[in-house]
Structures are given as C-alpha cells and as structure tokens.
Structure 1
C-alpha cells in the first residue's frame, strides 16, 4: 500500500513587485493556514515517510510549517525542482519515481497541477483545490511505479475553511 498526500501551498503574497513568481512568500493567512493544516494532519496521526516540495518559496515554506507540526525534520524535506512547473503528466512521472522505501509521501506543490493530478489518479473529481488543501489517496500497490487510477482509493480531502470554527 502506498499513501500519497497532495497539498497545495498555502496562500502567498503578491505584494512584492520585484520578486519572481518562484520567490513569492506566504502572506499572513498562508503563515497561519499551513501550520493549522499540519495540526489537522497530526490529529489524524499522519507521519509521512517522506516530505517533498516544489522549490518555490511559498511551497517550501508551507512544507516546513507542516513538517514542524508533524515532527518531521525540516532539513529532511526533499526539494524536487520539477514540481514547480510540472503539468499533471509530469507530476505523475515524479510520483512514479518516488523511492519505494517510502510508503507514505506528502507532496507540496501548485495548482492547477495538483487538482488535475487528483482528478487523473482518483475516481473522485475536484473542481479546484484551495490554498493549503490536502488530498489523501491510497494505492493498492507495492511500488510507486504501479500507482494509477485503477488501484487508487480516495481517502480524504481537507482544507483550511473546514477548520474555521476551531
């Protein structure tokens, strides 16, 4: 069994005209939502074997904030440059190349690619993953190279607005 958590980076700031897209940081809502979603994952007793992230500042910041809540060592976050500009097909290739020693992987990336990837790998369809949203998919497979829609099971979908009243 392989478990994949696909997480969209938290809300980023557009207030820095001189920064490239890749360098945009999280805004205050993003800095609050990322650890909150990390706590939501921790409350489900989620402990990923591997946490991978896009190299974009907003994604890597989200990954680090979530890692802290999951007691995952931030210096063990693996940056995969290809996640940043990947389309769903390329992200699928990255997923199938994950190390088989990792049974569960949390991948932090970008939309619309994450929504498209969920729709490609799952029988459940999503319109749009909001910032800091997480989808969990289980795959009845022993290797990442074997994951596909036919052996997937949609486990959960969570996002910050589910937790506003807490």
Structure 2
C-alpha cells in the first residue's frame, strides 16, 4: 500500500503588527496568493488530502483555508507549532489517512523534509524550505506508524514563486 504525504510550510506571514503574538500572525498579501496557488497546483495534480495535520497557529490555519482543500479529518494542534523534525514524525506516525497534508513551521519542516526522504529533489530551495514550499512524497507502507526516516520518495516539489512568476 502506498501512503502520500503533502508537506507544506505555512505561507508568508505578516509582520504588520509588531505587538501581535507569533502564534496569532496572519498571512500577508503574498502569503495569501501563494497558498491559493499551491492549492490550485495540488488540485491540478490530483493530489488531495483526506487528512490534515496542522500547527494550531493562525498562519497555518489560514494557509490551509486559502489552499481551498477539503479533507475528511482536520486536526490543528499545538504539538506542531514550531515542532522539531522528530516531533513532526511522531505526529505523522499517528495519522490515519491515505493522503495526509501536514502544515508546519521552520526550522522543523526543513529538517523533517531533509530527513524523511530517501533522496532530495534537484531543487535549490528544498533544503531551506521557504514559506509555502510543498513536497509531495509517497511511502511504501501500510500505515503511518511504519514510516521512518529516509523512506519517502519525492514525487514533486514546488515553491510558490514558480507558480506566481
């Protein structure tokens, strides 16, 4: 059985209100456009999640909303807010969907992406995982609790700049 992971870092957030707590920061104009573009890209590819695991932050929630995807199950959790690569893997290991969209933050997302794949894509920005970067990867495993480091096969990788320019 093949499992699919859509790994997305939140889109570009606004720093317009310096008094706003980090967890409450919304997306800026570019971030809104990026999230919408990535959602369209996923739909065109026919890669749609049936489960979403996301940080509870405002910017990850808004990224998911702007992507305009629907999933059978959506979970927003503090456990993915600035999570380490190992914390992200722990959360993913509890997933139940066939295709999971996981939304989070750097530096954990970049570290996770680099460690979960068998081989990185030939893309300069994969290693720093900029805002709204998205990787589609598959795993030859029957359940997510059998997924471990260096087991994902990259199917595609995109940064919003490639979709918006």
TM-score of the aligned structures, taking structure 2 as reference length:
0.90
- For 2:14 and 2:5, the matched residues in 1 are separated by 27
- For 2:150 and 2:21, the matched residues in 1 are separated by 39
- For 1:65 and 1:45, the matched residues in 2 are separated by 17
- For 1:150 and 1:132, the matched residues in 2 are separated by 22
State the shift of 1:150 in Å: 4.7
Q: How many aligned residue pairs are there?
A: 159
- Is there any run of 5+ residues in structure 1 with no aligned partner, and where? none
- The question of whether the paired residues in 2 share the 8 Å contact of 1:11 and 1:27 is answered with yes
Output one character per residue of 1:56-113: Cα deviation in whole Å (capped at 9) or x when no partner: 10111001111x2x3x16x9532122000310011110111112xx110001111111
Output one character per residue of 1:102-152: Cα deviation in whole Å (capped at 9) or x when no partner: 110001111111110011111334321111110111000001010123532
TM-score of the aligned structures, taking structure 1 as reference length:
0.89
Q: Which of residues 95, 100, 107 in structure 2 aligns to 1:98?
A: 95
**Over the residues paired in the alignment, what is the CA RMSD in angstroms?**
1.6
Q: Quote the residue 1:31 is aligned against.
A: 32
- The question of whether the paired residues in 2 share the 8 Å contact of 1:52 and 1:106 is answered with yes
- The question of whether the paired residues in 2 share the 8 Å contact of 1:137 and 1:154 is answered with yes
